Amino acid sequence: MVKAIAAAAFAALASTAAAARCQNLTIPISVSARNGLFDVTNPTDNIEATNFALRMARQGHNYTMESLNGYHTVSGDYNISATYCEPDAGPGQVLQILTHGIGFDRRYSPCLALSCTC
């Protein structure tokens, strides 16, 4: 019974995902970020890692501010790759902007996995 429900749900998802028109986009952006410069070395063993964690968790102290030496601004021009999909019936009234997790890229989607017309 559970397998039948799962198969029906998958079939419904497949038919929904397959009814889409998609296009790949390249979006040029210019970004600038102000990054903190910290006077902290990477821990090289378990004792240094423990001491770092203890300094970060020490009550009444702000270890981040104590080790901050200033700021550095990083800027650049980049291209973001995106895929825009809309149903065959035309665009809806809501636009969902979705991002992938760290282990995936924009190609990870049910639509592409099901070989629909993307």
The rounded mean pLDDT for the chain is 80
CA angle 30–35–41, rounded 5-degree value: 140
pLDDT at 85: 84
How far, CA to CA in Å, does 63 sit from each of 45, 70, 80?
20, 14, 35
Please tell me the number of Cα atoms within 13 Å of 71 on its side-chain side.
Answer: 7
Question: In sequence order, which ranges of 19-91 are alpha helices (DSSP H)?
Answer: 46-57, 63-67
Confidence of residue 99 (pLDDT cuts 50, 70, 90): confident
- Which ranges constitute the DSSP H helices of the chain? 2-18, 46-57, 63-67, 110-113
| CA-based nearest residue to 43, from 51, 35, 34 | 51
Residue 106, SS3 per DSSP:
coil
Domain ranges of the chain: 20-113
pLDDT of residue 104: 72
The pLDDT assigned to 65 comes to 94
Residues 73-81 have a mean pLDDT of 94
Distance between CA atoms of 107 and 118, rounded to whole angstroms? 10
Model-level pTM?
0.49
Chain segment 6-45, per-residue pLDDT in tens:
555 555 555 554 567 888 899 999 999 999 999 999 999 9
